[in-house]
Chains A and B, each alone.
Chain A
Amino acid sequence: MGDPEGIEIRLTSDPRWLQVLRAAVGQVGHLAGLDLAAVDHLKLAVDEACANIIVHGYGGERGRPIEASLRLYPDRLEIRLRDFGRKVPPDSICPKAPDASRPGGLGVHLMHCCMDEVTYRQADGPGMELVMVKRLHRSGEETGGGPRP
């Protein structure tokens, strides 16, 4: 059996590339058969994850690498994001409850709202690796994600 279908995208840690990545991720979502809302969720999750890498992983430094891998399996779309910045305990990257007086940390919360699985781990070597999964459902079923209590 061959490798799952997919693409690799390598971008640098400049926020102007986020819109390009979102467009590509959206197209992959369409290819995976996700509905429009689920495609929007996918784009938001990847955008938030990369924004976190730029701001926290690289401390705002431009020109550092971010590697995105999108793999399409029969039952799921799996997105891996790898950076080479600050290594932190995965448990420290947790969704914060939304708070109108302190909106920081909202990105991770949104990622969890949008995806079925969000897992950080320390990479071999510098940086972090994030794996996010969107489960694919048969026609007529819901496409996962959505607000959690």
Chain B
Amino acid sequence: MEVRVRNYEKGTVIEVQGEVDLYSSPRVRESIVAATRAKAPTVVVDLSGVGYMDSSGVATLVEGLQFSRRYGGAFRLAGLTPGVRQVFTFAKLDKVFEIFPDAETASRA
């Protein structure tokens, strides 16, 4: 799994590639913690390259949402693949997050 972080004028885009599970989710969390500690006004997590995510990945994203809310930041998910979207639907969290079709749209929203 790879995580790439880029900053833009409104915040941070965290681009995740690969499978997010109990082994790899701490690396996603690291980037989310760094962005929210820096109080990025908007954090976009680009999941278009993630074909698989388990509950540890979902919990990491929920944590990110909570961190952002504490300082009034926006926390957005982008590019959910069908498998990942299914997990969010099972978890009934698809209405909790702001979900965008792609990172570009999420960054500009």
Contact = CB atoms under 8 A, between A and B. Distances in A.
Contacts, number: 65
A129 interface: no
A15 B93 contact: no
B90 A109 contact: yes
Nearest to A102: B62
Interface of B is mostly: helix
Given A100-B65, A109-B90, 13 more contacts: A15-B22, A18-B23, A19-B19, A43-B52, A51-B55, A51-B56, A100-B93, A100-B96, A103-B55, A103-B62, A103-B91, A106-B91, A110-B91
Interface stretch (B5-13, B32-40, B81-89): B81-89
A131 B101 CA distance: 38
Lowest 6 A-B CB distances belong to which pairs? Answer: A15-B23, A15-B22, A103-B59, A106-B55, A113-B90, A98-B92
Interface of A: 15-16, 18-19, 22, 37, 40, 43-44, 47-48, 51, 54-55, 98, 100-101, 103-104, 106-107, 109-110, 113-114, 147
A16 B22 CA distance: 8
A98 B54 contact: no
Interface bin, chain B: 20 to 34
B22 A100 contact: no
11 contacts: A16-B23, A44-B87, A51-B21, A51-B55, A55-B22, A103-B62, A103-B63, A104-B59, A107-B54, A109-B91, A147-B90
Contacts of A44: 52, 54, 87
Interface in B58-78: 58-59, 62-63, 65-66
Interface of B: 19, 21-23, 52, 54-56, 58-59, 62-63, 65-66, 83, 86-87, 89-93, 96
Given A51-B56, A100-B62, A110-B91, A40 B23 contact: no
A137 to B, nearest CB: 19
B87 A110 contact: yes
From B55, B63, B83, name the one whose CB has the most chain A CB atoms within 10 angstroms.
Answer: B55
